[in-house]
Amino acid sequence: MAAAPPGGAGGSRWTWRPVARDALLARAFHSCTELRGRLYLVGGLLAGGAAEPSADTVVLDPAGPAVRTGARGGPRRSHHDAAALGGRWLCAVGGWDGARRLAAVAALDAERGEWEAWAAAPGSCAPAGLSSHTCTRLSDRELRVAGREGGTRTQRRYGSIYTLRLDPGARTYRYGPRARPGRPAPRSADAARQPPPGRWDDLALPAWPSAPGPF
């Protein structure tokens, strides 16, 4: 997206322009995360009506073509979210694996070019499963997780917000419920970001209060 002269349709000062056209980018319900100046696309559904997620990882350099990485052990995920940590790790959190919703964390080590399945630390209070949720980075060791939670029969009953603490050295993660007054309505396919300092810890923008399909 680039700036445009004022006075366009609706008074917008922005306009969209294509930066890449590649069959490797054709997917849905994937994650797209910036790490080291490149965009990493993880998993997703590669065709309409597909229920089996892809396990590939595609890297898009703004200055070059999209490339499928040779990273081994990629997670088979869709409807997940991902966050970059420490300029080295790309952590894929939760999502649909083709059979069930997960709360597990898989991490791509950008230096070694390999995926790793991190382990839950003792005392982790992981949700039953996550799908179409958000992971908002608060620091290189902490994410805020919100959105669709539970098994395929329970996703409409919960609206919890979790703190996910990550330990790259130990290759572990730990979920802890976030205490706060009240509770947001259950949601999925939402969006979230961290506002400027001094406002709120995070901000969730509602989308679907309940979403169709098994994902």
In a domain, 215, yes or no: no
Contact 130, 200 (CB under 8 A): no
Question: Rounded to 10 degrees, what is the CA torsion of 161, 166, 171, 172?
Answer: -40
pLDDT value, residue 188: 47
pLDDT value, residue 69: 84
In a domain, 214, yes or no: no
pLDDT value, residue 33: 97
Q: Which pTM was predicted?
A: 0.79
Exposure on the CB side of residue 77, measured as CA atoms within 13 A: 31
Reading the chain (215 residues) residue by residue, the pLDDT tens digits are: 555 555 555 566 889 888 888 899 999 999 999 999 999 999 999 998 888 999 999 999 988 888 988 788 899 999 999 999 999 999 999 999 999 999 999 999 999 999 999 999 999 999 888 998 999 999 999 999 987 776 665 545 456 789 999 999 999 999 997 655 455 544 444 455 555 554 444 444 444 444 555 55
Q: How many H-runs (helices) and E-runs (strands) does the chain carry? A: 0, 17
Residue 137 domain boundaries: 20-197
In a domain, 7, yes or no: no
Looking up residue 166, the CATH number of its domain turns out to be: 2.120.10.80
Tell how far CA 50 is from the center of its chain.
Answer: 20
pLDDT value, residue 198: 47
Q: How many domains does the chain have?
A: 1
Nearest alpha-carbon partner for 40 in 95, 104, 91: 91
